[in-house]
Amino acid sequence: MAEHREFMYRRLHSLLGVVPIGIFLIQHLVVNHFAVYGEESFNKAANFMDNLPFKLVLETVIIYLPILFHAILGVYIVFTARNNVNRYGFLRNWLFFVQRITGIITLVFIAWHVWQTRIQIALGAELNFGMMEDILTNPFMFWFYIVGVISTVFHFSNGLWGFLVSWGFAQSPKSQKIITYATLVVFIVVSYIGVRTLITFAYGI
Amino acid sequence: MAEQKTVTFIITRQDSPDSAPYQETFHVPYRKNMNVISGLMEIQKNPVTANGQKTSPVHWEMNCLEEVCGACSMVINGTARQSCATLVDELEQPIRLEPMSTFPVVRDLIVDRERMFDALKRIKAWIPIDGTYDLGPGPRMPEKKRQWAYELSKCMTCGVCLEACPNVNDKSDFIGPAFLSLPRLYNAHPTGEMNKGERLDALMEDGGITGCGNSQNCVQVCPKGIPLTTSIAAMNRETSIHAFRNFFGSDHA
Domains of chain B, first to last: 6-111 (3.10.20.30), 114-248 (1.10.1060.10)
Across the interface, do B236 and A79 touch by the CB < 8 Å criterion?
no
The rounded percent of chain A whose pLDDT value lies above 70 is 99
With an 8 Å Cβ cutoff, the interface of chain B facing chain A consists of: 78-79, 164, 166-167, 169, 171-172, 201, 204-210, 212-217, 220-221, 227, 229-230, 233-241, 243, 246-247
Q: Is the pLDDT of residue A44 over 60?
A: yes
What was the pLDDT predicted at A107? 98
Q: What is the DSSP letter of B18?
A: T
Complex ipTM value:
0.94
Q: Which residue of A has its CA nearest to B248?
A: A1
Q: Is the pLDDT of residue A148 over 70?
A: yes
What was the pLDDT predicted at B2? 53
Query: Which range is least confidently modeled, A10-24, B14-28, B122-136?
Result: B122-136
Instruction: Please write the tens of the pLDDT for every residue from A176-197.
Output: 999 999 999 999 999 999 999 9
**Nearest-CA distance A132 → chain B (Å):** 37
The whole-angstrom separation of Cα B58 and Cα B72 is 13
What was the pLDDT predicted at A179? 98
Whole-number mean pLDDT of chain B? 95
Residues of B in contact with A170 (CB under 8 A): 233
Instruction: Please write the tens of the pLDDT for every residue from B185-241.
Output: 999 999 999 999 999 999 999 999 999 999 999 999 999 999 999 999 999 999 999
Q: Is the pLDDT of residue B3 over 80?
A: no
What was the pLDDT predicted at B136? 86
What was the pLDDT predicted at B8? 97
Across the interface, do A168 and B238 touch by the CB < 8 Å criterion?
yes
Across the interface, do A6 and B210 touch by the CB < 8 Å criterion?
yes
Across the interface, do A92 and B217 touch by the CB < 8 Å criterion?
yes
**Nearest-CA distance A139 → chain B (Å):** 36
Q: Which residue of A has its CA nearest to B220?
A: A90
Average pLDDT over residues B76-81: 97
**Residue B253 confidence class, pLDDT cut points 50, 70, 90:** low
With an 8 Å Cβ cutoff, the interface of chain A facing chain B consists of: 1, 3-11, 77, 79-84, 87-88, 90, 92-93, 96-97, 161-162, 165-173, 176
* A205 CB-near residues (< 8 Å, 6+ apart): A199
Q: Is the pLDDT of residue A42 over 90?
A: yes
Across the interface, do B247 and A87 touch by the CB < 8 Å criterion?
no
Across the interface, do A171 and B166 touch by the CB < 8 Å criterion?
no
**Residue B250 confidence class, pLDDT cut points 50, 70, 90:** confident
Instruction: Please write the tens of the pLDDT for every residue from A85-135.
Output: 999 999 999 999 999 999 999 999 999 999 999 999 999 999 999 999 999
Q: Is the pLDDT of residue A2 over 70?
A: no
Q: Is the pLDDT of residue B177 over 90?
A: yes
Say if residue A169 is exposed, middle or buried (CB neighbours under 10 Å; 0-12, 13-18, 19+). middle
Nearest to A165 among B78, B207, B236 (CB): B236
CATH number at residue A197: 1.20.1300.10
What was the pLDDT predicted at A146? 98
What was the pLDDT predicted at B131? 85
CA B222 centroid distance within chain: 8
What was the pLDDT predicted at A7? 96
Q: How many domains does chain A have?
A: 1
Q: Is the pLDDT of residue A50 over 60?
A: yes
HSE-up of residue B134 (Cα within 13 Å, Cβ side):
2
Measured between alpha carbons, how far is residue B223 from residues A27, A174, A178, B159 in Å? 46, 21, 26, 10
Q: Is the pLDDT of residue A1 over 70?
A: no
What was the pLDDT predicted at B130? 87
**Residue A23 confidence class, pLDDT cut points 50, 70, 90:** very high
What was the pLDDT predicted at B251? 78
Q: Which residue of B has its CA nearest to A166?
A: B236
Whole-number mean pLDDT of chain A? 96
Measured between alpha carbons, how far is residue B246 from residues A5, A12, A129, B242 in Å? 13, 16, 50, 6
Q: Domain range holding A120?
A: 2-203
Give the CA angle between residues B231, B232, B237 to the nearest 5°. Answer: 95
Across the interface, do A87 and B210 touch by the CB < 8 Å criterion?
no
**Residue A168 confidence class, pLDDT cut points 50, 70, 90:** very high
What was the pLDDT predicted at A205? 87
Q: Is the pLDDT of residue B1 over 80?
A: no
The whole-angstrom separation of Cα A197 and Cα A202 is 9
